[in-house]
Structures are given as structure tokens and as C-alpha cells.
Amino acid sequence: MMKRKRIQHRRISLSKKIFRPCQNEAGISAVETGATMLLFIIALFSVIEFGWYFVHQTTLTAAVRDGIRLGAIGDSLSDESGNQMSREESIRQAIKERADPVMDIDPSNILIFPVQANWTDPDDPAVNNAGGAGAFMRVRVQYNHTFFTSLIGGFFGGQTIQMQSEGTYRNENFIL
């Protein structure tokens, strides 16, 4: 009988040693906090990234609309020296001025071209032509948006994504 009590006593003692660390929940709450913070930080950066993307997209759209308004009425701007700019350069300048506070658009990414009768693009949309009175025209602007973090950019296959905004308009019956 004596031997049995000792064995039972050892079992109880061994089980207490095994389960004693599980009674302290300080480590569990630290792990839960870490997992929750990770999700919160990912959500926070996602909101910031997509907010910045949205600002770029709306600015790009507004800039294209400003360029279209200028091109549709046949008006042209003056450069810093006071010289009259061409209509195409005026449209580019109006787009750049509207977008400059938020983003830097490369002028070579601003395309101005006539629309064909079936509303398709010409074979070479790089033709720089704002068209004559009554012509249907299209302005297309492309911009490479760069993400702040590679975490969000990774979902899009890289650190940048190409944004595009375009508008089609009909020139007023202006006299050049």
C-alpha cells in the first residue's frame, strides 16, 4: 500500500507541474494583442494606400476634364514669356497645372488625338492633334501610381500600377 500512495503522489505532482504554466494568461493576452495589432496595422495602411490612390484617380480625372474644357472651346494659353501656345500644348499645360499639387504627370503621357467615325482610336494615338471645329477628339492621360508600402503593392503585382483617365469631346464651332 505504501508504494501505491507514493506513485499517486508523484502523478499528482507531475500533473501540477505540467498544467501550472497554462494557468497564467499573461502570455496568451500578449499573443492575442500581437495578432490583433498586426491586423489593425494592415487595415490602417490599406485605408491610407487606397485613400492616396483615390486622390490620384480623382485628381487625374479632374485634370483631364479641365484640359477637355480648354480644348473644346478652341482657346489657348500663354507661356511664361507671354507667347501664345498651340492648342495641344495649352491642353497639356492645363492638365499639368490642375494635377501639379498632387502628382507630376509626364507630358509624354498626355495623348490628344481625333476619334474615328466608329469611336475607336486611330492606329497611332500618339498623333498630337487637337482637331478643328466640330471634330470629335479624345484626351488620354496615363500615370504610374507608386504605393507607399510593398505590402499593399504586392497585391497588384509590383510597387506601381498604371492609372488612366480619358475623355471624348466635340470641338465647338470656333474660328482659329
Which pLDDT score, from 0 to 100, does residue 176 have? 61
Residues in Cβ contact with 73 at an 8 Å cutoff, skipping those fewer than 6 apart: 172, 174
Residue 46 has which C-alpha cell?
Answer: 490599406
User: Can you give the pLDDT of all 176 residues of the chain as single tens digits?
Assistant: 555 555 555 555 655 666 665 566 667 888 888 889 999 998 998 899 999 999 999 999 999 999 999 988 888 899 889 899 988 999 999 999 999 999 999 999 999 988 887 888 877 777 778 888 888 899 999 999 998 888 777 777 788 899 999 999 988 887 76
Q: Residue 13 carries which side chain, given as an amino acid letter?
A: S
Which pLDDT score, from 0 to 100, does residue 76 have? 87
* 3-class DSSP assignment, residue 139: strand
pTM, 2 dp: 0.75
Task: In whole angstroms, give the CA distance from residue 102 to residue 92.
Answer: 16
